[in-house]
Amino acid sequence: MILFVIKAGRAAALKALHFTYGKSSPVVASRGSFFLPLTIFILLSITFILTEFHSIADAREINVPDDYSAIQSAIDSAVSGDTILVREGIYSENLSVDKPLSLLSIVGAERTHVEANEAERPVIILRATEGVTIRGFTFKGSNAAGIFLYNVSAANINGNIATGNHTGIRLEHSTGNTVTSNTTIENMEGITLAHSNKNTLNDNIASNNSEKGILLYYSNDNSISKNTTNDNLWNGITLWSSHRNSVSDNVSVQNTYAIVVSDSKDNLLSGNREMRRIYYLLPVVLIYIAALLYLIEKKLFFLYYSRKSKGRQA
């Protein structure tokens, strides 16, 4: 349709040019002295705009499993700017994306699962690309990572679930990506940023992981806000050799340590709700201490007032 419009526009423009400077009648020429150049200008503008945006207008939608049974086949056949729509189901694949495209599930992460076919590889790896969108999948079963971004920029990772992997979401040597509203539970590490700068981690859940919730190392100028990192075996949020990061309004409860900043400088920590697991036991410990102190205090008072009463009697 768009190609037809482009072709029609071009043909009309050529015809108008031919008409103006070729076989124009005196009547038309006198009447059209104003209208014809305007028509030509408009048609040429439309043609130019449509030609300029040809690549965008040409972006396709590929449906899985309607067009391709495997998601990777759809990715391989897609060109930059294409959108791959995936229906609900369980897909046993290791995906690799190296071009800017959108990979979206139709019904959401709860019912669209991608499981690692080879456990040693990430379930999905984005490599050396930019502007990729991954939304609404459950990635699981990798000893590497659920979602792995390597040398990626301006990607949008949104509304995914990563569970049962070594690392839920891992960014390595990646810059300016947005990771929002993802859930990374029951991995070894929830979300890890390694040598990655200027990324945004917002509104994610990184809980019940067997090591750390969110881990940054050698990563600078990142924004980590409104994330929930509860019930991780070690730290909720860890900054190690990472500088100038903003860590704000996160909830970090029931971890061994809530937020750990080590060998890092100029990080801004504000409005985080932290509570170490051990502090829940504090009132119980205090009750025991109080009972013990009561017995000691009672003994002391008893001795003092017994002697006092004896003194009076004497």
Partner 1 sequence: MDIKDAITILASIGFICSIITFIGGFRMVRKTDHHGEPQMHKMNGYITVIVYVMLATLAVSLHFKVLLILAWFIGFCVHLFKLFLVKKGLAVRYGGYMGGMLLIVWLVVIFTHLPK
Binding site for partner 1 (CB under 8 A): 273-276, 279-280, 282-283, 286-287, 289-291, 293-294, 297-298, 301-302, 304-306, 309
Instruction: Return the number of the residue (70 or 251) whose C-beta is nearest partner 1.
Output: 251
Instruction: Return the number of the residue (1 or 291) whose C-beta is nearest partner 1.
Output: 291
How far apart are CB 248 and partner 1 at their closest, in Å?
A: 15
Instruction: Return the number of the residue (52 or 297) whose C-beta is nearest partner 1.
Output: 297
Query: Which tokens is 248 given?
Result: 């704000």
How far apart are CB 272 and partner 1 at their closest, in Å?
A: 9
How far apart are CB 94 and partner 1 at their closest, in Å?
A: 42
Instruction: Return the number of the residue (268 or 290) whose C-beta is nearest partner 1.
Output: 290
Instruction: Return the number of the residue (47 or 230) whose C-beta is nearest partner 1.
Output: 230
How far apart are CB 57 and partner 1 at their closest, in Å?
A: 53
Give the integer Cα–Cα distance in Å for 241 and 249. 22
How far apart are CB 266 and partner 1 at their closest, in Å?
A: 19
**Do residues 193 and 168 lie in contact, with contact meaning Cβ atoms separated by under 8 Å?**
no
Closest Cα partner for 174 from 144, 188, 154, 158?
154
